[in-house]
């Protein structure tokens, strides 16, 4: 199996557009179809072809409960609506008196959509089809290949027609096909359940706990507890406050990434806290507020950038070490030095920081930041 595909999938998940949930829905839907070993899947010239209607069905199942929920579950940034949201909400309202989500799916799978809702459903299906093919299919993989439709390709040879009773069969036959490279199909087939989470260790842990409680707990509740982090927002603020007090004694402050003198600055996590739940003092450095908020954000500094800014990084490390020697020594020994003696902490600390960042960029797929 091509290891590059694994790396590409990680990069797609981490780097490709995060303005909506469309990317996640497309990947999840594709994986679910592959995992179900749909008989509609065919292979031609190292590409795997799948009816787009199967994807539309998955999106109907994913977004119905989200849009039906009394709790707002944002799916797009800037308070905008999903491209198909108006039609979908209207369909959901019409099914409130007909049995809700289950009744809708039963109609789609068996009876067919009622005649009075057929036009609405047809428009919704087209909206979802257009959203899938013109947005996530177009952009997924661009962070890897810098081209559009680099992984997903769509073909629509059928001419859409309204039907008196729209059902899953007509959905499958009437909305064209899409294809993905066979290497991606193989990865999705073997490891898709881990990527989607159904067979992940975390999900299985939660599932075991639910069963052991005689189902008095929910999987959602267990997962939320298992994922709790011991480092709170207060801990982060206190560490940053401590760092600022040390910098006040130092006097002039320079941005760690640009080297420019700054009067207003953020205490930045070199490796973002969202990526690595690490609040160590060595991982906190002063950065221009503009650089931190508008440029770096959750990106990983490149090993080359770390090398370029090595002197200023070490200067700050040395400053914080002199003020907080016990804590700094313990934290950097555990996180960066390992079995190396503390006497060579500067050399080995920088080397390991570069290796950690390179691993996160190359193997985990996080976006590289070069300034």
pLDDT tens sequence across 47-105: 999 999 999 999 999 999 999 999 888 898 876 789 999 999 999 999 999 999 999 99
Residue range 268-280: mean pLDDT, rounded: 91
Residue 160 is predicted with a pLDDT of: 66
pLDDT digits (tens, 9 = 90+) for 291-312: 888 778 889 999 999 999 999 9
Between 178 and 80, residue with greater pLDDT: 178
What is residue 6's three-state secondary structure?
A: helix
Q: Maximum distance among all alpha carbons in the chain?
A: 79
d(CA 261, CA 256): 10
Residue 120 is predicted with a pLDDT of: 96
Residue range 241-269: mean pLDDT, rounded: 89
Give Rg (Cα) of the chain: 25
When mean pLDDT is compared across 50-59, 66-75, 159-168, 269-278, the lowest value belongs to 159-168
Residue 164 is predicted with a pLDDT of: 63
Total-model pTM: 0.83
Residue 159 is predicted with a pLDDT of: 65
Q: Would the pLDDT of 273 be above 60?
A: yes
Q: Would the pLDDT of 157 be above 80?
A: no
Please give the C-alpha separations between residue 348 and each of 353, 354, 355, in angstroms, as whole numbers. Answer: 8, 10, 10
Q: Would the pLDDT of 161 be above 80?
A: no
Element (H, E) at 57: helix 52-68
Between 360 and 13, residue with greater pLDDT: 360
């Amino acid at each position: 199996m091509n290891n590059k595909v694994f790396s590409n999938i990680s990069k797609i998940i981490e780097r490709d557009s995060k303005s909506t949930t469309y990317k996640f829905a497309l990947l999840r839907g594709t994986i679910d179809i592959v995992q179900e070993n749909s008989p509609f899947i065919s292979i031609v010239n190292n590409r795997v072809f799948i009816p787009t209607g199967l994807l539309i069905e998955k999106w109907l199942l994913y977004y119905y409960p989200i849009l039906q929920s009394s709790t707002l579950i944002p799916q797009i940034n800037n308070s905008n609506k999903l491209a198909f949201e108006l039609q979908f909400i209207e369909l959901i309202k019409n099914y409130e008196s007909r049995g809700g989500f289950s009744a809708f799916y039963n109609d789609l799978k068996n009876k067919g959509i009622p005649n009075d809702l057929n036009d609405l459903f047809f428009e919704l299906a087209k909206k979802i089809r257009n959203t899938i093919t013109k947005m996530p299919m177009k952009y997924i993989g661009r962070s890897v290949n810098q081209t559009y439709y680099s992984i997903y390709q769509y073909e629509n040879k059928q001419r859409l027609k309204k039907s008196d009773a729209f059902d899953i069969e007509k959905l499958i036959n009437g909305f064209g096909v899409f294809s993905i490279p066979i290497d991606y199909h193989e990865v999705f087939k073997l490891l898709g359940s881990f990527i989607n989470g159904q067979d992940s260790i975390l999900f299985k842990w939660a599932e075991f706990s639910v069963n052991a409680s005689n189902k008095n707990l929910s999987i959602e509740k267990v997962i939320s507890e298992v994922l709790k982090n011991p480092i709170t927002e207060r801990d982060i603020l206190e560490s940053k406050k401590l760092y600022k007090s040390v910098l006040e004694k130092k006097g002039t402050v320079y941005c760690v990434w640009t080297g420019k003198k700054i009067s207003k600055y953020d205490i930045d996590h070199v490796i973002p806290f969202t990526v690595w739940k690490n609040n160590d003092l060595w991982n906190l450095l002063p950065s221009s507020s503009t650089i931190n908020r508008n440029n770096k954000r959750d990106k990983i500094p490149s090993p080359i950038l770390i090398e370029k800014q090595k002197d200023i990084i070490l200067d700050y490390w040395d400053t914080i070490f002199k003020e907080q020697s016990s804590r700094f020594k313990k934290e950097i020994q555990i996180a960066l030095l390992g079995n190396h003696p503390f006497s060579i902490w500067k050399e080995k600390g920088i080397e390991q920081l570069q290796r950690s960042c390179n691993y996160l960029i190359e193997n985990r797929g996080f976006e590289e930041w070069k300034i």
